[in-house]
Structure 1
Amino acid sequence: MLRIRPLFAAAFVVGLTGAAHAETPRAAIITRGFAHPESVLLGPSLRYVSSIGAELEPLKKDGDGFISIVDAQGRLVERRAFTGLDAPKGMALIADELYVADIDRIVGFDLQTHQRTFVVQMDCEQPCLLNDIAVVDDRLLFSDTLRGRLYDLDPKTRQVTLLTKDIPGANGIAWDKARGEAIIVALGSDFAGGHLFTWSSARGVRQIPNSPFGIFDGVAVLPNGRVLVSDWISFAGRPGAMLDLDPATGTASAFPLQTSIRGPADFSFDEAGNRLWIPATLDDAVVILPVPEDYTSAQESRLEGRAGLSHTAAVGR
């Protein structure tokens, strides 16, 4: 039975109210002041955090969603930098344009003026929940969780193309440039648990062999080609988990977390700083964690002989 254990015995956690930073580069940072944060996007110098709002209502059109700006040290710069949103989730950057998925539309903002410059409204014949966005060249891939779909959007023409509707509970997306495919994590059509998938224009959608099972949200591709995935475990407030896996085989292991994270959602990997920026949705916080060096280098020996982990095995449940 595999259990997650803290990796750094000497590390400590610094709790912030939006304006402090860690005293050591190997410590975790917790930045507070958000409202059910769902996604963290890394820009060249700043970070962007989307908040669903005061209530955890991902489908409610109440206008209280917003995007915050955080600096590279984890300090809250501007809490409500981009507004006029309902329940914003995944984000993406192309040049000076910030795109965000907001229930049934993709909204764009000018990074400098913070003014809304772009809206593509989806014609949802049944309820939809646009969730994550990934950039592929100058185009956007985005997921619809309720309808299990993956779409392509050309921001220049605003043309939307359905790529597949065969990913139950499609959630986080990461583009694997080396393999020329998208990795999509899912939470299932009933939100009780799903699997991991890949999509490419050449092969279409495929479930990853021996895919783990979980309430998956965020996903990131590491420099060594391995993949990190966040798992809520449950929506009842239990601490979540992170998995590290080989996308070719589904072979997985638990990624050690230094602190409890409830509702680990759409995180980002900072390659330059070798850190994870994880929104803790149920704690109204963003947790910034250092990544052990062996998670960005070859890991075949450490994982040799492991079968793909199920959601249950990965968390010791």
Structure 2
Amino acid sequence: MIKYKILSVVLLLLLVSCTSKKKKTGEDAGDAAAVKKFELVEAWKTDTLFRVPESVIYDRDNDVVYVSNLNYEPRVKDGNGFISRMSTSGEILDLKWVEDMSSPKGLGIYDGKLYVSDIDEVIVIDITKGEIEERIVIEGAKMINDISIDDQGNVYVSDSDNNNIFLISNGEVNNWLSEGLNAPNGLLVDGDRLLLASMGSQDFAAIDLATKEINVISDSIYAGDGIARASIPDHFLVTDWNGQVFMIYPDGSKTILLDTREEETGAADIDFILEKNLLLIPTFYKHTVIAYKLVEKEG
């Protein structure tokens, strides 16, 4: 009888051990000795001419960066928002390159057009002309936030206040997904899935584009905002707009690369220039964009 009790205890301990190993998602990657560690090293910082920069995107065809300036009020149609053009070394080329918008946030590029989310519409800019070509109204939207575009030109748009993701395809707007969302923000199309950083559920998830099934990759992201592919394959950078930048590893574990919350320097909708190993961070109310190199820690 004692032998059976001892065996039962051993089996129970083994079960608990196995269960705890499955809960790796969201844990700090520093717990795993074999995982490489990285850090961000500041490369440059722009002047403070921007007005609440919310999003950045690199245009490879023209080797420039576009910056959306929401200009203080994220939900008010005040007409004072604008898009800036900036070099990859931080020089502001044209502060008010395109105006006539209110609270521009997420940015996407496809076929020579810059797509801009603005409260309840997506503004399409002809990049060559530097002019607004079209305004796509999103009926029922409250505060559309980020944009991501797939290889076929399908435009995915998050509505943070209304818990929706809209799809613009072939000129038509559809409410693509609403179930299971909680203040969705950052979007990034990645093959057959749509990556999502949410402010409400405070997690980083993947949505299957075919089935729309949501799988949480990592949690405790807090005010999830921007998503970018890192220069290391299968690694992603995700921001908490309060000032944190997380490295998400392939197994879902994470580590904090940057934390500027005490300085009140935000970390909004980022982009990563792979060719230059350069992370671009718009800082909200510090009115700058800061660039960092992603490097492996020594030792």
Equivalent residue for 1:119, pick from 122, 135, 142: 135
- State TM-score, norm by structure 1: 0.75
Structure 2 residue corresponding to 1:129, chosen from 125, 143, 161: 143
Q: Which runs of 5+ in 1 are unaligned?
A: 14-26, 234-239, 295-301, 303-317
Residue pair 1:7, 1:258 contacting (<8 A) in 2 also: no
Three-state SS of the structure 1 residue aligned to 2:206 is strand
Identity, % of aligned pairs?
A: 24
Distance 1:83 1:246, change over 3 A: same
Q: What's the CA shift for 1:256?
A: 4.0
Q: Aligned AA for 2:195?
A: I
Q: Distance in 2 between matches of 1:42 and 1:199?
A: 24
Residue matched to 1:47? 65
- The separation in 1 between residues aligned to 2:258 and 2:74, in whole angstroms, is 29
Among 225, 228, 233, which residue is 1:220 paired with? Answer: 228
Instruction: Report the RMSD for the aligned CA atoms in angstroms.
Output: 2.6
Higher Cα radius of gyration: 2
What secondary structure is seen at the aligned counterpart in 2 of 1:272? helix
Deviation string for 1:181-219 (max 9, x for gaps)?
A: 11110101xxxx622221122331314145234011101
Q: List aligned pairs for 1:146-185, cutoff 5 A.
A: 146-154=161-169, 157-165=170-178, 166-177=180-191, 180-185=192-197
Q: Is the 8 A contact 1:164 1:205 kept in 2?
A: no
User: Number of residues paired by the alignment?
Assistant: 259
Q: Relative contact order (C-alpha < 8 Å, sep 6+): which is higher?
A: 2
Whole-angstrom distance in 2 between the partners of 1:217 and 1:93: 18
Q: CA deviation at 1:226?
A: 1.3
Secondary structure, counterpart of 1:282 in structure 2: helix
Q: What's the CA shift string for 1:130-149, capped at 9, x where partnerless?
A: 11111101211111101111
Q: Which runs of 5+ in 2 are unaligned?
A: 1-26, 31-37
- CA 1:206/1:74 → structure 2, altered by over 3 Å: closer, same or farther? same
Partner of 1:200: 208
- Scaled by the length of structure 2, the TM-score of the pair is 0.79
Relative to total residues, which structure has the larger helix share, 1 or 2?
2
* Alpha-carbon separation, structure 1, partners of 2:87 and 2:217: 39
SS at match of 1:250: coil
Alignment of structure 1 residues 59-78 onto 2, 5 Å: 59-78=75-94
- 1:253 maps to a residue whose letter is T
- 1:196 & 1:91 partners in 2: Cα distance? 19
Would you say the 8 A contact 1:212–1:252 is kept in 2?
no
Q: Following the alignment from structure 1 to structure 2, what is the Cα–Cα distance between the partners of residues 266 and 7? A: 19
The one-letter code matched in structure 2 to 1:232 is W
Report the Cα distance in structure 2 between the residues aligned to 1:153 and 1:280, rounded to whole angstroms: 29
